[in-house]
Amino acid sequence: MNLPTRSGILGVGTGIPETILSNADLEKMVETSDEWITSRTGVRERRILAEGETNAQFGAEAVRNAVKNAGLTLDDIDLIISCTFTPDYTAPNAACMVHSNLGLKQQAPAFDLNGACSGFVYGLQVADSLVRTGVYRNIAVIGMEAITRGVDFTDRNTCVLFGDGAGAAIVGAMPEGSNRGILSTFCGADGQGHDLITLPASGSAEPINEERLRDKMHCLRMNGREVFKFAVRILGTAMDEAMKRADMTIDDIDLLIPHQANIRIMDAAVDRFGIPRDRVVCNVERFGNTSAASIPLALGEIVESGRLKEGMTVGLVAFGAGLTYAASIVRW
Ligand code: UT7
């Protein structure tokens, strides 16, 4: 059996909730202002799940759109990887909920990957390896989040930052000799920083009880300042490593998609790399921080708008809870 030398992204798609939560809406909920939120974060509005909607529903929509964009059918998908830290349930896993939402009859396996905001790029590395070793042919890698379901809407430090949504990429083999595809991936972690972003009572270490519920330990907690410092440092480290592995410099990168956490973190990355602003993709003002969904959402948008053209080289770079970090270079 001839193994593919390179995998690539065959198609991308998004699943975007319709409900919008604006800064003006938040001004009515907590002691904050549109001015504070936009100047400190760059966020003007975010999408949120409406009552009855689920994370997997939008993950499935993103897969349907990505499959269409790739010119494939759902029957071609032989593995589903759901990158999320806000699954519908801890069990069953989120990928099986996507499987169910898609109504897949086939036996394609489905598993979750929790790399928090770096999850989608972690997922790309796993999918790239599995395609190049011939284990699977067409893998749906989904970044999907329902973060607002786990946010305390009385805590102004966190509730203004996040949004919900999903984006998916279909990863498959590139034709032999093609210079397109996933040129490099790099993933890293620093577990010493595990307590900087947490959902404390969401697992088995501190199971939810009345006292923890009262203390809102089921909601997201974050040390924003420390995460900010880590992000600014690690984005450079991760991109440098991914570019080295692809034998490239920043001048070779046509478009850079940083994790859409905060406009000031993206500005710091622009300064660090000396990359012209018009080569940095930014949609944080409309979506807020959607964690694992942020990069595939941005990818989906620039493919749909035609900004990302065949032959362009894209840099993806992320950081998140864990702490995790990751980068990838992809030629379109
Ligand atoms: O995907 C990865 C996850 N997280 C991140 O990427 C987050 C990284 N961190 C950040 O983006 C920033 O640290 C924040 C946007 C979270 C906060 O910005 P900051 O410039 O670091 O503000 P701060 O935490 O230093 O707070 C400054 C002030 C504080 O008041 P005092 O103590 O100076 O009186 C806060 O209480 O701003 C206050 N504050 C707010 N004021 C109005 C915090 N949140 C708000 C708010 N509205 N929503």
What pLDDT sits at residue 264? 95
Distance CA 43, CA 66 (A): 26
What pLDDT sits at residue 13? 98
187 part of the active site: no
Task: Choose which residue among 22, 29, 40, 266 to substitute to test ligand 1 binding: the one with the highest number of ligand atoms within 8 A of its C-beta.
Answer: 40
Displacement of CA 150 from its chain's centroid (Å): 17
242: closest CA among 324, 169, 181, 326?
326
Q: Which atom of ligand 1 is nearest to the CA of 294?
A: 1
- The verdict on the CB of residue 41 being under 6 Å from ligand 1 is yes
Atom 6 of ligand 1, nearest CA residue: 261
55 part of the active site: no
Residue with tokens 């894209």: 314
Distance CA 267, CA 277 (A): 9
141: closest CA among 165, 166, 117, 158?
166
Residues 83, 96, 117, 159: which is the catalytic one?
117
27: buried, middle or exposed (CB in 10 Å: 19+, 13-18, 0-12)? Answer: middle
Å from CA of 45 to ligand 1 middle: 17
Displacement of CA 315 from its chain's centroid (Å): 14
- The verdict on the CB of residue 160 being under 6 Å from ligand 1 is yes
179 part of the active site: no
Q: Which atom of ligand 1 is nearest to the CA of 157?
A: 44
| Alpha helix segments (H runs only) across 104-253 | 119-132, 156-159, 210-214, 224-245
What pLDDT sits at residue 81? 98
Task: Choose which residue among 37, 157, 196 to substitute to test ligand 1 binding: the one with the highest number of ligand atoms within 8 A of its C-beta.
Answer: 157
Residues 23, 55, 101, 289: which is the catalytic one?
289
Task: For the chain, 332 residues long, give each residue's pLDDT as a single digit of tens.
Answer: 789 889 999 999 999 999 999 999 999 999 999 999 999 999 999 999 999 999 999 999 999 999 999 999 999 999 999 999 999 999 999 999 999 999 987 889 999 999 999 999 999 999 999 999 999 999 999 999 999 999 999 999 999 999 999 999 999 999 999 999 999 999 999 999 999 999 999 999 999 999 999 999 999 999 999 999 999 999 999 999 999 999 999 999 999 999 999 999 999 988 988 899 999 999 999 999 999 999 999 999 999 999 999 999 999 999 999 999 999 999 99
Distance CA 328, CA 122 (A): 9
What pLDDT sits at residue 272? 87
Å from CA of 157 to ligand 1 middle: 6
47: closest CA among 318, 291, 304?
291
User: Strand, coil or helix: what is 312?
Assistant: coil
- The verdict on the CB of residue 60 being under 6 Å from ligand 1 is no
Q: Which atom of ligand 1 is nearest to the CA of 291?
A: 1
- The verdict on the CB of residue 32 being under 6 Å from ligand 1 is yes
Distance CA 273, CA 269 (A): 6
- The verdict on the CB of residue 277 being under 6 Å from ligand 1 is no
Distance CA 279, CA 250 (A): 11
Distance CA 159, CA 29 (A): 10
Task: Choose which residue among 262, 266, 297, 325 to substitute to test ligand 1 binding: the one with the highest number of ligand atoms within 8 A of its C-beta.
Answer: 262
Type and span of the H or E element at 69: helix 55-69
Distance CA 303, CA 151 (A): 31
**What pTM did the predictor assign?**
0.97
Other beta carbons within 10 angstroms of residue 251's beta carbon come to 10
Atom 35 of ligand 1, nearest CA residue: 157
